[in-house]
Amino acid sequence: MGETLLELRGLHVHYELRGGLGRRLRGRPPEILRAVDGVDLTIERGETLGLVGESGCGKSTLGRAIVGLCNPTAGTVSYGGEELTAKRERSRRRRIQMVFQDPYSSLNPRMTVRQTLSELLLAHQLVPKASVEARCRELLDLVGLGPRALDAHPRQFSGGQRQRVAIARALALEPELLIADEPVSALDVSVQATVLNLLEELREKLGLTMLLIAHNMAVVRHVGDRVAVMYLGRIVEEAPTDELFTNPRHPYTQGLLRAVPRLVPGRVSEAAGVVGDPPSPIDLPSGCRFHPRCPIAQEPLCSTNDPALTGAPDAAHVAACHFAWTERPPAHVPEVIES
């Protein structure tokens, strides 16, 4: 067992929606959007954890809460044993860095790469002023860009190159934990590989710990040591990568895996992997949040009783389903829910 680097306990991030005028006049309480709704998660030093889920499941919000871009409503984020709040001093902020999905909007268009990088280096006093230039070159070299890139503006780069600049910016602060939120989904297919390979290489070279947030199962399978599956603000299953892909226990994970389009057409099932639309995170289903779409949901257990993450005694593989580790009820087609 390695050393725990990051630990989330009962993390909640809720957003209060203002609601319409009518709602406020009638004195109704504001609606609450439960983006992250009770997440326990640990990441060990040196590992890569893949976090998958569909849009709106809260995976990006979770990443933002870890890095300190939003305030948890409840629960804690501990890093190396110390509790972190969203407001952090510089020296702590530095240790967790983030790479965002869209390199077209996450870089300042009016700053050259040199300005972007040296500003960080100086503000955090990471290197003496005289060595800033050398460090900038070193960082670019690390992400596979030549020194000529230093004087370029983001618009002069292709998508893949921009993402490299964004990675260099994150690495400038010498972080221990890198959170990559959909780092390749805005990139063209042939370029995705270079960025994924780069992340892999950097992880080995710098001993980075990584949280890779993605919706693409193939990407997560390729990069992650462990995978956590998120659904409507909760982790529903977590396991070592191979185990999760070959022996998924949660019906949602199973459906998600069946939904992935495959290069060999014969491997795709005829029936849809998961039926219906995800419910709104403002109005969560009772009991197990997956029960309205679940092919093995049993009444009244699943609609009243919220299952906890449970697993085998060594607990490397956990799933939040009443039937994860017992004999399953026969599958039925859930009625397509109304949204």
Q: Write each residue from 227 to 246 as x if it is in contact with other proteins (CB under 8 A), else as -, in one continuous string.
A: --------------------
Based on the shown chain and the rule CB under 8 A, indicate whether residue 107 belongs to the binding site for other proteins: no
Q: What's the min distance (Å) between Cβ of 219 and other proteins? A: 5
Residue (284 or 301) nearer to other proteins, CB = 284
* Count of residues engaged in binding other proteins, rule: CB under 8 A: 44
Per CB under 8 A, the segment of 73-81, 134-142, 193-201, 307-315 that binds other proteins is 193-201
Nearest to 255 by CA among 281, 292, 223, 282: 292
Q: How far is the CB of 85 from other proteins (least distance, A)?
A: 32
Other beta carbons within 10 angstroms of residue 24's beta carbon come to 12
Eight-class DSSP state of 212 = E
Of positions 158, 247, 286, 304, contacts other proteins by CB under 8 A: 158
Tell me how far, at minimum, the Cβ of 10 lies from other proteins, in Å: 27
Residues 269-288 that bind other proteins (CB under 8 A): 270-275, 277-278
Enumerate residues 6+ apart whose C-beta is below 8 A from 99. Answer: 163, 166, 167, 170, 178, 179, 180, 181, 183
156 scored as a contact of other proteins (CB under 8 A):
no
- Give the burial class of 25: count Cβ atoms within 10 A of its Cβ; 0-12 exposed, 13-18 middle, 19 or more buried: exposed
Fill in the DSSP letter of residue 87: S
CA dihedral 109, 209, 53, 168 (to 10 degrees): 10
The DSSP letter of residue 292 is: G
Contact status: 196 vs other proteins (CB under 8 A) = yes
Contact 334, 264 (CB under 8 A): no
Q: SS3 of 172, please?
A: helix
Q: How many residues does the chain have?
A: 339
Taking contact as CB under 8 A, which single stretch among the options 22-30, 130-138, 171-179, 216-224 is the one that binds other proteins?
Answer: 216-224
Query: CB under 8 A: which stretch of 14-22, 28-36, 262-270, 309-317 binds other proteins?
Result: 262-270
Calpha distance 306→327 (Å, rounded) = 19
Which position among 40, 44, 54, 133 is part of the footprint of other proteins (CB under 8 A)? 54
Among 221, 226, 249, 289, binds other proteins (CB under 8 A): 221
Interface positions, 113-132, toward other proteins (CB under 8 A): none
Encoded amino acid at 288, one letter: C
User: Which residues are at the interface with other proteins (CB under 8 A)?
Assistant: 54-55, 158, 160, 188-194, 196-197, 200, 215-219, 221-222, 255-256, 258-265, 267-268, 270-275, 277-278, 336, 338-339
